[in-house]
A and B are shown apart, each in its own frame.
Chain A
Amino acid sequence: MSATARLPVDERGRPLFELPDELAIDTDVARRVIADFIRGQLRQAGFERLVLGLSGGIDSALVAYLVSEAIGADKLLAVLMPYRTSSPASRGDAEAVIAALGCSSELVEITAMVDGYFGAGGEAGAGGPDAAAAASLRRGNFMARMRMSVLYDKSAAFGGLVVGTGNKTESLIGYTTLFGDSACAFNPIGDLYKSQVRQLSAAVGVPRQVIAKAPSADLWPDQTDEGEGAFSYPLLDRILYWRIDRRRSTDELVAMGFELALVERVERLVATSEFKRQVPPIAKLGPRTAGVDYLYPRRRPGSART
């Protein structure tokens, strides 16, 4: 059975996206596991509601749909956090998701927060003259962390946990901002590659224009993930899948037909971003140290909010 046979198509009959055969998942099972996961996380934490940042992109749209399936859209708060240069189309797509789901939403412009630090209109901000000349990477990371700050404040105000929306591909190559977009209470799609996110999005009914558009962090105008990294997601996903999930060596990947330079570049990205995927190490000094030899599940009797 070819997985591509069941993919949604555009008006010309072409698939909306490419799904490598080995990455195709059983979306019914995935939806059930994720729904149970979301409900279980909430129950153990003593919460009933969830908050997420809705960007207009496919990852957060998919999570909004999965949360709505698991606990109902009425228990979800979607927060839109555009910066002044954010694409208006992204906002339109986010609003389409909100309208389709019927969840509540809030709009929080982060422009004043970001410009207050980096400065705007020739005026230096709190970050000083150096910050005014900051490269887009610094600005992008700062924006992601401002959005995190807003989400965690809304979490307290709304009484909902922050649900993560990062996918496995971007996590593995480190295409995330530490303590920014990767910050969350739990993540239902963090073990799905981008290609699988697209497949599952089609299955749950994420709007077609959200699935079809080029993925972008939308940190500056016309930015796209694939343009920035010079890769295609299906190819990147396949390399990561065979290298990590299926433990193939570099030599074996090359023998399978992958380009050596690309494989080595992906391996470097994975290795250099390892720190982003782990809890920071604590210097071991005492008899019992969290994460080393003090090992408890995150939630146990007495853990839930009362």
Chain B
Amino acid sequence: MQTLRIALAQLAPRLGELEANLERHRTVLGSARRDGADLVVFPELGLTGYLLQDLAAEVAMRLDDPRLAELAAETAGGVSAIVSFVEESGDHRLFIAAALLEDGEIRHVHRKVFLPTYGQFDERRFFAPGDTIRATPSDLGVGVGIAVCEDFWHLGTPLLLALDGAQVLINVSSSPGRDLAARNEVGLGTATSWRTLMRTYAQLTTSFVVFVNRVGIDESMTFWGGSEVIGPSGEPIFSAPFFDDDVYLVDVNLEDVRRERIALPLLRDERLELQARELGRVIAERAGLATDSTADAGAEPGMDVATSRAPNRASDRASTMGDSGEPIRLRTRRNRAASR
């Protein structure tokens, strides 16, 4: 049995206090290594706190920052770590980065691709989006796919990571909890949504999903924790308590990936060239570079749906036939506010 011991560092970072957070990371990394952890996963912006606004530039680090090198050096003893911080690139863009540290070095950096800028989020104002979603080999003996929070609210992310060789998908988050409606399965709308996503991704990619979410508060936001490990069949292996600042050790059997992928060969059956071909077509049509064969009659180039038929009123939705007699493709929407 090829066992991987994962430490989920469900911490409450201190907003803007880089030194204090670095110290906490070093401490947790050291004790997790002594507890036999192979991989220690820290939350999104665990080194800086989340709601930085204009502080982001003040806590940003270059990848050659000695403080990062010092932290990476802690992994020389045979433990891997994923840490997250504000990265400043050579051309002075600021990214929300998550780095895989191994063998005393930075092995891989993922820059958050999807920056939520709606509702309570304002990330795009302060950060640049990453441009790559790539799996990385690791000392763990298995390919690893790293994503940051909102990256997992886009279907393409887990699919790309799994197709690129990841068997363990890791999402590090600063997810603020909201919607306390009693009807929610676990008392928190955000958590209910996330738990649904992670089980679905694990099942559809037949991969382990590791989710590490921070706790504590920044301003009005309370981060809910609830870190989890989901097996490749979609079954939860471990669920951390909500809101507690703690480190959780979880053992997983990597052979479960093989078992699941042989029993349920979804990845084998993926049609990459078909997806690429159809995506290429949609991209060209959206850009107005090709005639859109699937658009409503009268739709502007690239818009797919004709303005006069946009189903934004209940009375319009009742009919499935347009003025021209063409059937309108019914678009159904989730009737529930999205939670992140």
Contact = CB atoms under 8 A, between A and B. Distances in A.
Interface of A: 1, 3, 21-22, 24-26, 28-30, 32-33, 36-37, 40-41, 44, 245-247, 252, 255, 294-301
Interface string B165-191: 000000000000100111110011000
Interface stretch (B51-59, B105-113, B273-281, B296-304): B51-59
Interface stretch (B84-92, B193-201, B217-225, B257-265): B217-225
Given A40-B216, A40-B217, A246-B337, A297 B15 contact: yes
Contact of B180 (A21, A33, A295): A33
Contacts, number: 69
Nearest to A245: B337
B222 A37 contact: yes
Interface residues of B, number: 26
Interface centre among A3, A25, A29, A296, by most chain B C-beta atoms within 10 angstroms, is: A29
12 contacts: A1-B182, A24-B182, A32-B243, A33-B222, A36-B222, A36-B243, A37-B217, A37-B222, A40-B217, A44-B15, A246-B337, A299-B15
Contacts of A3: 182
A75 to B, nearest CB: 18
By Cβ-Cβ distance, the 4 closest A-B pairs, closest first, are A26-B187, A40-B217, A24-B182, A29-B187
B177 A25 contact: no
Contacts of B51: 297
Contact of A301 (B17, B180, B184): B17
Nearest to A32: B243
Contact of B188 (A26, A41, A294): A26
Contacts of A298: 219
B242 interface: yes
A29 B188 contact: yes
Interface in B34-84: 51-55
A93 to B, nearest CB: 27
Contacts of B242: 29, 32
A190 B45 CA distance: 28
Interface string B19-35: 00000000000000000
A246 B15 CA distance: 31
A41 B180 CA distance: 21
A296 B51 CA distance: 9
B143 interface: no
B130 interface: no
Given A26-B187, A26-B188, A297-B51, A36 B216 contact: yes
Interface centre among B17, B182, B184, B188, by most chain A C-beta atoms within 10 angstroms, is: B182
B15 A22 contact: no
Contacts of A40: 216-217, 222
Contacts of B54: 294-296
Interface in B292-340: 314, 337
A106 B332 CA distance: 58
A24 B181 contact: yes
A30 B224 CA distance: 12
A294 B53 CA distance: 9
Contacts of A1: 182-183
A296 B183 contact: no
B185 to A, nearest CB: 10
B16 A25 contact: no
Nearest to A299: B15
A25 B243 contact: no
A242 B34 CA distance: 52
Given A25-B182, A297-B218, 20 more contacts: A1-B182, A21-B183, A25-B180, A26-B187, A32-B243, A33-B177, A33-B222, A36-B216, A36-B243, A40-B217, A41-B217, A246-B337, A295-B53, A295-B54, A296-B53, A296-B55, A297-B51, A297-B55, A298-B219, A301-B16
